[in-house]
Amino acid sequence: MKIIFSEQRTLQTAAGILPYTFERKNIRNINLRIRPDGCVYVSAPENAEIAAVERFLSAKTEYIQSAKEKFAAQKVPVYEMQYVSGENVTLLGRNLRIQIVKDKAEYVTSDGIYVFIHVRRPDYYNRKKNLLNAWLNEQCSSVFTEIMQQTAKRFAGYGVSMPELRIRNMVSRWGSCQKDKGTIALNRRLIEAPKNCIEYVVMHEFCHLVYPNHSKQFYALLQVMLPNWRESKDLLEKCVVL
């Protein structure tokens, strides 16, 4: 069974087709959130009927459209990295300054303040990009694996074995798991977030290996395993915008 944080749905409204992300949670009311990129997120109680959710959304059509227009007017053009000295790369919640180093050997290192990209041709854009991305992938594998190993020890009593880690580029979710295959997939961009935020996502997925839903039992287990999970979740959503 594939367990995900949310599902993508659409609704025909007076203003046209409205795509939105729908989540069921252990809450009492239907909640609406619109992100700066214009994406619409709706969360509802576990037992809420889709018809009720759609009536709620239909009644909010004007508000949603107004919010989208407001964000669009404020939208800052997306900056594309040039991979030159002075640019920043975010790792575990910290902004590290890129320093390009002309060298016969090609590799990437960091001292916690700078990220040094050693390259034979400093003007070779694609090579610098590939070197940095490969290094970031190594950071993902190392950090995510360490956190998963630590988390797996706490779930040994629940009959949960160490899942296989898969690192993916995800557009609208932080993680997912497939209980029947024993895998957990984590969003590559999690490496930008503070470590406690990554721990929250990993813990969330491990709890799904016990309770494959967002039931009261699921949230009770998450609360026991990670009492400050709400703070970590809020920080993650502030630090890294999908």
Residue pLDDT tens, the chain, 242 long: 333 456 788 898 877 888 898 988 888 899 999 988 888 999 898 888 999 999 999 999 989 988 888 877 776 666 789 999 999 999 999 999 999 999 999 999 999 999 999 999 999 999 999 999 999 999 999 999 999 999 999 999 999 999 999 999 987 789 999 888 999 999 999 999 999 999 999 999 999 999 988 889 999 999 999 999 999 999 998 887 66
> Cα separation of 150 and 129, whole Å?
32
Cβ atoms of 192 and 239 within 8 Å: the answer is yes
* b/e sequence 134-153, b meaning 16+ C-beta within 10 Å: ebbeeebeebbeebbeebbe
pTM of the model: 0.72
Counting Cβ atoms within 10 Å, is residue 117 exposed (0-12), middle (13-18) or buried (19+)? buried
Query: Hey, which CATH number is domain 138-239, 3.30.2010.10, 3.40.190.10, 3.40.50.2300, 3.40.50.450?
Result: 3.30.2010.10
Domain residue spans of the chain: 2-74, 88-135, 138-239
Question: SS3 for 215?
Answer: coil
DSSP one-letter code for 146: H
